[in-house]
Amino acid sequence: MRHYHPNLLRQCLLLAAGLALAGLGVALITRAGLGTSPISSLPYVFTFLTPLTFGAATFAVNLLFVLAQALLLGRAFPAVQYGQLGVVLLFGLFIDLGMWVGGLWVPTAYWGRMAEVLLGSVVQAAGIALQIHADLLFNPGEGLVKALCRVTRARFAWTKLGFDVSLVLLALALSLAALHTIRGLREGTLVAAFAVGLSLHWLVPLLRPTRRWLFG
């Protein structure tokens, strides 16, 4: 019986497209000025404390996620997953590019800014869906959640929720302690959290034909 394998080049292209969309989505959410996405809340606070760009801060935080996976799993951590560093480097570059593009025009009306949050959430979800279908490398945040589940035998959904909440609480604590105000956490953060999740619900099956393209 013949076994079919995905085309590696096409997997890389699909992953890059997913990272580009996810980075643009995060940037759109953040540029609206109503809070950033939960996974980006901690890196965003670091941009007010360091000279790092949003993308560079994202890379720095996700580098810690990769190291945490390696420490948790030890020899069980696949060496290929160090490629996550390349993934998050591209993701950071696309975030910075998206911040520049998004800065060309920012709505002034509240409804327009909220619409930008929703648009960014759908774009980010589309990027995540493409990364899922590329099935090549983990996103460092997702990889750390998977590592935690493997060690604790907890369910992925609950661990992911706890991880995101922990990032938001850390960002909140750091912002209050170092800046004496709250940065990057507003109603848009909550809206983005729900909107990305709901969008993924219908975008993952909608974009499933990309899987067939990988085997073409």
Q: What is the pLDDT along the chain (216 residues), one digit of tens a residue?
A: 445 577 888 889 999 999 999 999 999 999 999 999 988 999 999 999 999 999 999 999 999 999 999 999 998 888 888 899 999 999 999 999 999 988 888 889 999 999 999 999 999 999 988 988 888 887 888 889 888 988 888 887 688 888 888 999 999 999 999 999 999 999 999 999 888 888 888 888 888 888 788 876
| Amino acid 103: pLDDT | 82
- Hey, what long-range contacts does 45-49 have (CB within 8 A, 24 or more apart)? 45/171, 45/174, 45/175, 45/178, 45/179, 45/183, 45/184, 48/175, 48/178, 48/179, 48/183, 49/174, 49/178, 49/179
Query: Is there a domain that residue 130 lies in?
Result: yes
Query: Is there a domain that residue 111 lies in?
Result: yes
Query: Is there a domain that residue 62 lies in?
Result: yes
> Structural domain tally of the chain?
1
Q: How many CB atoms lie within 10 A of CB 76?
A: 11
Query: Is there a domain that residue 1 lies in?
Result: no
Give the integer Cα–Cα distance in Å for 211 and 51. Answer: 40
Query: Is there a domain that residue 3 lies in?
Result: no
Query: Is there a domain that residue 63 lies in?
Result: yes
Domain of 126, in residue numbers: 8-214
For the whole prediction, is pTM greater than 0.75? yes
| Amino acid 91: pLDDT | 93
| Amino acid 1: pLDDT | 43
| Amino acid 187: pLDDT | 93
Quote the DSSP letter at residue 103: T
| Amino acid 4: pLDDT | 58
Query: Is there a domain that residue 25 lies in?
Result: yes
Query: Is there a domain that residue 187 lies in?
Result: yes
What are the angstrom distances between the C-alpha of 185 and each of 41, 45, 132, 172, 176?
Answer: 7, 9, 27, 7, 11
